[in-house]
Each structure stands twice: as structure tokens, then as C-alpha cells.
Structure 1
Amino acid sequence: MSRSARARGRRGKFNPRAGFEPAPTGPNISAALLKQARKSGQLNLSNRGLEKVPDTVWRINLDVPEEAKNVTFDGEDRWWEQVDLTKLILASNKLSELSPDLNQLPALVVLDVHDNELTSLPKEIGDLQHLQKLNVSHNKLQSLPPELCHLTNLLYLHVDYNKLTELPNDLGTLEHIEDLDLSHNELATLPPSIGYVSRLTKFNASNNKLANLPPEIGDLHNIRVLDLSNNQLEYLPSDVGRLGKLEQLYIKYNKLREFPNLQQCEQLKELHAGFNLIGCLSADHLKLLPGLVLLDLRDNKLTSIPEEITHMQHLQRLELSNNDLSSLPFSLGLMSSLKSVNLDGNPLRTIRRDVIQRGTSELLKYLRTRIEEHQNGGNTHSREPKGGDAAPLTPDPEPAAPGSTIDTFTVHKTKSINYSNKNAASVPDDLLDTGRDMFVSDMNLSKNVLTTFPVGLVQLAATLTDLNLSFNKLSALGAEIGQLTRLTTLDLRNNQLSALPTEVENLQHLREVAISINRFQQFPSVLYSLVNLENIFANDNHIAAIDVDGLLKLPALATLDLQNNDIMQVPPQLGNVTSLRSLQLGGNPFRVPRPAILAKSTADLLEYLRGRIPT
């Protein structure tokens, strides 16, 4: 047999139309989908149960498509004018490997294979020289191929939620990366070459086993968000203090014993350093951070707070719970920017517990009343009496029972009336008269048995800014609430409310409202008209839905607590409410986002939601 005859025998019967027959498309992939991908340059095969990527995907720009069967030059489908595939999404399948043939898609700009079962990446991935975005998170990768470092055009690399124990030494060649996520792996070290990835603006290395950081981390001069939470760090190198553009630093859940040296971090807005072993907060530390908006030092070993905390003139949220604080500087009460101070779990014996429980505004007012008493050479900290016996620094106001004489001196001095826990079904007239005559700005009627809104409060409308009606039995608010137009805080927790009257729209100065532990089935839409609202606490109700359009009408909204409601779905557009600094959604029946996502910072949660917005 001749050589040509043997060759024909191996090749099989000649088919003159072979080049014009469609290639097999594989499971769950229609020819129409591939046709559209050839036109758009994008192919989305996510969530299809794929265990293997069909070869036709890798050869989408090589094989002659099905529409070529009917050869014509005057039809609308000009199959020969196809575009290169630039975006391939294979997320949420069952893929255990990627074929080396992926290098047959050299024009790829985006490759998303997150949420699969990949144990490795082919070295051919390094051939995708145009790749800018690579997402391989939520897989089972134990290492990354060195060839990955050939992708010098990468801007976005997410390898979080894998089993990585080390990174390629040449990671620094990826110098254009702006967003790098290495979180939830098993990394013990970072390569020194990390310093060459100098265009990084967001770097997440949380939830690893990092015991130290290379000094080269200080070369990340463009970094704005750095997350090192949940590691084994005992100290931060002083080089971190060279990150002049850093805005958010997360170092919680480590083993830090000292407050980090952040001497050049002048742009820092948020410092999350809770759940460490930090024992000292010095004046020098605070002077270096004048622009800080959020300082979280909960669950540390702090024994005091220096007076110099007042240098933080932009501080809005101070988290100090579960430390060893026995006193506070009275000057804290002068920080008008503060909106939230948490002190739970500290042995602050000289500040009455009810003052702390009434919230931030109450605490700051209390501290301000102590400043004048100690101006003449006295200590400006709340002090514990000798012998360790707790005692208030000034006598508590006399109980204001119906018809009783009110301690007008205390009311005049503090501009507040505390009529809490009196088992009262109504508010005494003489108490309201005194409040009016003394220009009271703060009224606490909590922990009583009020069933109707005290209409007599309208007498205080000219001065009342803070009203606490929590822990009563109110089933409705009267329209008269709308006359209290100077209110800035309104506490309605633990009542029997299911709606708010439309007159609430008149409370245009309201900054904080608490409607927790009531019977709301819908978020009260009247709140969307209060453009100065900053904090909304609506946890522990029966709210079923989130109205993103309504929330977007609140430009100052910083805190939103919707925990323990009946929310079945979280709209991705919630991520567009970028003013939020604290978003709490736990304890609801929705499945997405997962608890692991909810446990992240609010900024990360919002970014996650934005990433799910359909495009």
C-alpha cells in the first residue's frame, strides 16, 4: 500500500463540507449563545453545572460557525465579521480544571472562574497577555503557576477563598494591579516583591496566617484600602506609616500589643483595630491622625483615653467596648462631630449605666456638665472614688412623681429631664411646665407604661431636640409629633408601633431615629423625606423588603441596622448607597449575601453588592 493510501486510511472518508459543518457545542451551550458571543465578544456560562468547558468555547474564534452552512454574502448574518472573545465568565460551575487550550483565546480581557472546584491553573494562562481582570476566588487552589506573573496588564486579581500557602516570588512583575484580594487562604508570608505592585489601591490579605509583613509593604504609595484582619500579626512594621494615601486600615483580630505607628498616614479616615491586645493609646498616636472619622479599638486592653483625642476633630464613630477603661476625659463631650460612642463592657463606675445606655448624645451631654465642675484645678477625667465605691459626681435628679416638686436646679443646669422607669401611664403636667419654663432640650420618658403619645410635649417644641420614648407600650404616635420640629434624635425602641404618622415629615432636623423591636412590616416611607437622617435603627421588626430608591434620598445616611427582620432578598443596588459606614443585615432569611460576606466590613459588603448589579 502506498504512503498516500495509508494516510487516507487513517484520516477516514473525505468530507468536502467538513469546514462548513458546525462544531459540537457541548452541554447547556446553544449554538445561538455562541453566535451571540461571536458578535459581542462576551460569553457568560455561569451557573450551568459544567464539569468541563466544551472545546468549542476555547475554539470559538477558530472553528467555522454553524451559520456558515448557508453561504451567502447578502444576508444579515455576516459570520465572517466575528469579533474576538474578550470576556469569558465560567463562575459557579463544577469545574475541576481549565484546559491548556485557553491560550486559544489570546484577546481575553476578563476571565471569571470564581466559585468552582479548581485545584490548579494551567501554565498557559500566562499567554493571555491582554488579560486585565482575573477572578479565581472560591476554588481549591493550593498554588499559583509562575507563568501568572507574565500577565503584566492585570489590573484586578482575586484569588480569595482558596488554599494558597505561598505566592510566586515574581509577584512584583504585576506592577499594574490596582485591586488584589488574597484573603481567606493559608499564607504565612508575603514576598518582598509585593512592594513593586506600586499601583495597588486596594489590597486584602485578611484571614490568612501572616505573622509578619515585609518592610517593602511601605512602598505601596497608592494604597487606599489595606485589610490585614484575622491574621497572627504581633506588630506592624513602621513602614506602614509611609502609606500617605491610605484611607482605610483593617488590622482587627490579630495579636497586636502596640498601637501602630502611622506617622505619615494623613489621609486615614478609618482605623479598625479591634480584637487585639493593645494596652496603651498615647497622645502622640492621636496627634498623627487628625482626619480620622472612625476609630475602632473594641476588645483590647486599654486602660485610659488621653485628652488629646479631641484633636480628632472629624471623628464620628468611636468604638471602645470591652476594654479596661475606668475613666473618660470630660473633653470628649466637646467633640461635636461624634455620632456614635460605644463603651459597653468597661468598668466605668463613676458614669451611671443608665447614662451610657441612653446613647451617645446623652453621654456627651453628661460629660459636658462635668467640665465646668472641674475647671478650677480639678481632674478632667471621671474619677473613681476612694475605696472603690461607685458614686455619682452630682446627685441624681429628684423623682418627678405626679404633682411632686421637681429638682429645678438640676433641670436648669442640664437642660434635661429624666422621667424614666417610673411606671407612669401619663406625663405629669408640672413636669411639662418645668420643661417649658427651663427651656429643656432633652426629655427621657423611657421604661414607663405610656400607651398614647404625650401631647403635652408640644409645649417644649421650641427647645426640645432629644426625645426618648423607648420601652413603653405605644401602638401609635399622634400627629402632634410633627410639631416637635427641632428634634435631632428620636428613640422609639421597644414599643408596639407598626407605622409612623405622615407628620413625621416635618422633623427635618432629625439625625437619628430608633424604631427597633416594634411591629413594623414595612420600612416607614415617611423617613425617606428626612434628608438629614444619619442613623436609622430598625432591627428586630418584621420588615420584608429594602427600598433602595428611598434610601438613596437620604444623602447623609451613615448607619442602617435592619438585623432580625423578614427580608427575603437584598437588592444589589443597595451597594449604591455609598454614604453608609455601618450596614447590619444579619438575622434575616435571605441566602445571599452569605454570612461570610456579611461578616466583612460595610465597605466590602457594599462593593460585593455593586458587583452583582446586572449590566
Structure 2
Amino acid sequence: MSRFKRAGNVDSLAGFRTPKPEAAVPYGLLKAARKSGQLNLSGRGLTEVPQNVYRLNIDDSAEAQENVSFGGPDRWWEQTDLIKLLLSSNQLTQLSEDIKLLPALTILDLHDNQLSSLPSALGELQELQQLRLSHNKLSSLPTEVCSLYKLRSLTLQQNLLETVPEEIGELGNLTELDLSNNLLKHLPSSVGRLSALQKVSLCHNKLSSLPDGLGQLANVKLLDCSHNQLTDVPVSLAGMLALEQLYLQYNKLRRLPQLPAPVLREVFVGNNQVELLEAEQLSCLSAVTLLELRDNKIRNLPEELALLLTLTRLDLSNNDISTLPASLSLLPNLKVLLLEGNPLRGIRRELLAKGTGDLLKYLRGRIKEEAEGAAGPTAMTLPSESLVNTHNIKTLKMLEYMNNLLTDLPSEMKNLPKLRCIVLNHNRFSSFPEALYQIVTLETVMLGNNQVGGVDPSRLMQLFSLSTLDLSNNDLLNVPPELGLCTSLRCLSLEGNPFRTPRAAIVAKGTDAVLEYLRSRIPT
């Protein structure tokens, strides 16, 4: 009988009742979100956003009905507006217009879902600062998004976008724009109005050109246009004066862009169709530390490469280079030189295998041999008894006399009509060589590690092409303020001198900061 008695307590209709669904969002999370203003629902397998999320700050909480104790720790009337909503890595196919019920949101993360469209109600989230929409299936962007004037970060990578609305230029506070991995064939000119932008990612699209307006983005530090179909880069990009990193790999470029960006550090132009390196383009790279030119069609390397004094890494792999200019060895900071995949002649393979240091040492030896070979009975004599054939050197663009005992240069050197670079480091000059003031073609003067006690800025100003001046480790007791008027200078090295002003902290900020300081010291 006990067996039947126990059976009498069983709900005989249990198999016919509809089970009560569990809440998609645990009550505890909603309760915590009311207090913190943040709700993380990432990776929960959601196919739609539960209605109680949208109505989080509208509907009365359970505490409003159950807990009326004014002394309780959970006082429901002190709830905080939701400002951060994370819905990434779910299976959302749409977002309800009810998103407008969360007007205080500053961060909305919807990346890694299945969204194919967005509600116009997004435009009502006027406090929004970050909108993450990457890795979805969006084919268009509603213009209402472009009315989110406080938006600072808009990430749309890995979608199906074919166009961007012209109204995007209204997002004046945007600092980051990521449109990579889409189907874009062109960009609206209004992008040039996004004056606060610092990072722009356009890689992996179908862009055949860039709008001229990009050149107005004077605060952009990183521009990634790799993996597109660019055949040229507009000259207007010269206006991007804050640019530090430029990515142009995997395009159809036939030449380097000519961008006089004073702080441009890294340039990637690999996997293009560049055949010729031109002096005008190279002269703009006064601050570059990394230059990647691999997988192009470059045949010859110009001597102007030796003007890239800040260069630490040069990648020339897989080109058509047969000879190396000995002047490469004059690059003072070069640590890595990659040349694999080139039909080099005259350099043993085992030498290449030894690495950059041994290769540069070999090239320096070639410079010495060429200098000795240029000596002859008609040469002029330098103070160190070095002999230089004036007829031969009249056609040279570069001269190098390092580690000698030179104290002066012969006046005949002023008659070198094509000289652009002279390297006189580690000698015994006590003053700036008089002859150099008269060589108006000079672009680079290297006088580091000498005993130079002063320079004449009024005469340096006559060297209109002078962009690099190395006076480091000399005996300068003062730096004349008028040196700041030498506006052609892009690289001025003054480290290791005994002057007190400008202070070391200003010198460490770079050439622009030093020149600006010097100009401020000119008596009025």
C-alpha cells in the first residue's frame, strides 16, 4: 500500500504542462546591471536581445514590489542608467528599435554576430562613444549612425559594406575608423572632415583610389590601405603631418608616395610594382626607421638611400637588384638589411649569409678602395694628406671622409656642382668648414664627433636644400637662436655638446621641438 500511497503525490498532469522557460538573462545579472550601469551578455548564444534588457531602466524591479525597507542594502530607487552593453559573440540577426530605450549608452558592442541590418533607432543613442559592429553581415550603414556626434570609435571591419554614407563626415569627434575587410570600391570625400581621426584602417577592400580629402586629416598617426587596388597615392596626403605608420602593401603602386611627413617612422610598400626609387620620394623619409620594399621590381638602388640616417631596417627581398651601392654602409643606424631573392652579382653568397654587419663592413671597404683609386697626380691635398681627384669627384653626389685627421677642407671643394651629401664624422674640425657654406646643393652634412665650437646660422640659411645636419658630440657651448630659422632642416642632431640651452629634455623631443624653441629665443 505504501507504494500506491507515494504514487498518489505525483502530479498526473505533469507531462501535459508547458515547462516554464528559464530567463535568457539571469535575474542576478540584471540586478547587478542596475547598480553598475554595465551589462555583459557576450557569448550566451542569444538569437535576440530579451525585452527585459531594453526595458532595464524603465520597468520596476522586483525589489520595488518586495523590498520597501529604507535601510536595506539594495535600495531599488538608486539604480543607475545602463551605459555599457556588451552583446558580442552571440547569434543576433537583428536589433530591435527598442534599443532607443537605453539612451544613456556610451558603449555598445555587437561584434561577432549575424546582423545584416541596423535599426534607425541607433541614431537616438546620442551619448554613444564606442560602436563595435565588426564581424557581422552588414551591407550598408544607416545614415542615422552618422548623427552620433559624440562617437569616438566606429569599428566595422569584416562586413559586406559596399558603400559608406556621405554623412559620415558629420562624426567630428571620431578618433578611430576601421572599415577593413569589406567590399568598398571608393570612399566619400566627406571622410576628410573627420579632423579628430588618429587611426584609419581601410585594408582588404577594393579601393582603386583614395579621396584627396584624406590629406586634411592632420592628426592621423596610422593609415592602413594595404590589400587594395591602388595605382597611386594622392599628393594631398602630404598634409597628414602626424602620420607615423603607413601601410600600402599588396596594391598596384609603381612608385613610392611623396609624403613629407616629419614623423613618419614605418613605411610598408611591399608586394607592389615599384620599379624605380626616386630621390624626391626618398628625401621625404627623413625620420623613417623601417622601410619595407620587398616583392617589387626594383633594379637599382640610388645613392640617396644613404640619406635615410634614422633607418634601422630595410627590406629589399625578392626584387631585381643586381648591385649594391657602397653608400649603403654609411647608414649609421642600419641594423637589418634583407636582400634574399635578388640576382646580386659580385657579392659572395656566404657573405650575405653572415648577416647585415659583415655586409656593411664589406661595403665600407669598397668605399675606401674607390677613394684610394681616385687619387692621382692632379689631386688636391687635404690636411690629412688624403688625395682627391677633383675631376673625378665633380660628378659625385656624396663624399665620405670618416676617421681621418682633417681640420679643414680646401676651398676648391666649393666648385662641386652636384655634391648633396658629405660625411666628415670622427675628424678634428674645430669650426664648420668654410667651403661647405658655399655648396648650395648640399642636403646632408655629417660633422659628428669633431671639435666644432660654432656655426654661422645666417650662412647655413643660404643652403636652401639642407635637410640633415649632424653636429652631435662636438664642443658647442651655445646654440645660436637664429639656427631656428633654418626651416629646411628636417633632422638636426645636437646631442653630446656642452651647451646648457636648449635643455636635454627639449633636444630629446626632436628637431621640430628644438627649432621651435630656438625661434622663441630670437630677440625681438
Same fold? TM cut 0.5: yes
Shift of 1:359: 1.5
Of 300, 303, 309 in structure 1, the residue corresponding to residue 305 of structure 2 is: 309
Q: Does 1:346 align with 2:342?
A: yes
Moved more, 248-257 or 367-376: 367-376
Q: Which residue of 2 aligns with 1:147?
A: 144
* Residues 161-212 of structure 1: per-residue CA shift (max 9 Å, x gap): 0000000111100011001000000000000100000110000001000011
Other structure's SS at 1:74 match = coil
Read off the aligned partner of 1:151 and give its amino acid letter.
Answer: L
Read off the aligned partner of 2:117 and give its amino acid letter.
Answer: S
Q: Which residue of 1 aligns with 2:85?
A: 88
Q: Does 1:106 align with 2:103?
A: yes
* Residues 66-121 of structure 1: per-residue CA shift (max 9 Å, x gap): 22222221111011100100000000111111111001000000000100110011
Q: Which residue of 2 aligns with 1:319?
A: 315
Shift of 1:377: 5.7
Q: Distance in 1 between matches of 2:354 and 2:109?
A: 49
Read off the aligned partner of 2:266 and give its amino acid letter.
Answer: E
* Residues 353-383 of structure 1: per-residue CA shift (max 9 Å, x gap): 11112211121122122211111466xxxxx
How many pairs does the alignment contain?
354
5+ residue gaps, structure 2? 1-19, 375-524
The answer as to whether partners of 1:31 and 1:66 remain within 8 angstroms in 2 is no
Shift of 1:25: 10
Q: Does 1:284 align with 2:280?
A: yes
The 5-angstrom pairing of residues 208-607 of structure 1 reads 208-262=205-259, 264-376=260-372
Q: 1:25 to 1:364 in 2, by over 3 A?
A: farther
Q: 1:27 to 1:301 in 2, by over 3 A?
A: farther
Q: Distance in 1 between matches of 2:98 and 2:117?
A: 15
Other structure's SS at 1:141 match = coil
Of 122, 126, 143 in structure 2, the residue corresponding to residue 129 of structure 1 is: 126
Shift of 1:337: 0.8
The answer as to whether partners of 1:25 and 1:54 remain within 8 angstroms in 2 is no
* Residues 448-486 of structure 1: per-residue CA shift (max 9 Å, x gap): xxxxxxxxxxxxxxxxxxxxxxxxxxxxxxxxxxxxxxx
Q: Distance in 2 between matches of 1:244 and 1:302?
A: 28
Q: Distance in 2 between matches of 1:377 and 1:190?
A: 57
Q: Does 1:198 align with 2:207?
A: no
Q: Which residue of 1 aligns with 2:61?
A: 65
The answer as to whether partners of 2:122 and 2:145 remain within 8 angstroms in 1 is yes
Q: Distance in 2 between matches of 1:31 and 1:71?
A: 19
The answer as to whether partners of 1:316 and 1:337 remain within 8 angstroms in 2 is yes
In the superposition, the TM-score normalised over structure 2's length comes to: 0.66
Read off the aligned partner of 1:300 and give its amino acid letter.
Answer: N
Read off the aligned partner of 1:229 and give its amino acid letter.
Answer: S
Identity of aligned residues (%): 50
Q: Distance in 1 between matches of 2:52 and 2:22?
A: 7
Q: Which residue of 2 aligns with 1:170?
A: 167
Kindly name which structure, 1 or 2, has the bigger radius of gyration based on alpha carbons. 2
Other structure's SS at 1:271 match = strand
Q: Which residue of 2 aligns with 1:387?
A: none
Shift of 1:334: 2.5
Read off the aligned partner of 1:121 and give its amino acid letter.
Answer: L
In the superposition, the TM-score normalised over structure 1's length comes to: 0.57
Q: Distance in 2 between matches of 1:369 and 1:235?
A: 39
Q: Which residue of 2 aligns with 1:36?
A: 32
Q: Distance in 2 between matches of 1:199 and 1:376?
A: 56
The answer as to whether partners of 2:153 and 2:176 remain within 8 angstroms in 1 is yes
Q: Which residue of 2 aligns with 1:187?
A: 184
Q: Distance in 2 between matches of 1:174 and 1:41?
A: 25
The answer as to whether partners of 2:258 and 2:280 remain within 8 angstroms in 1 is no
Q: Which has the higher contact order (CA 8 A, sep 6+)?
A: 2
Q: Distance in 1 between matches of 2:347 and 2:196?
A: 48
Shift of 1:27: 4.4
Q: Which residue of 2 aligns with 1:76?
A: 73
Read off the aligned partner of 1:243 and give its amino acid letter.
Answer: M
Shift of 1:290: 1.0
Other structure's SS at 2:100 match = helix
Q: Distance in 2 between matches of 1:340 and 1:269?
A: 15
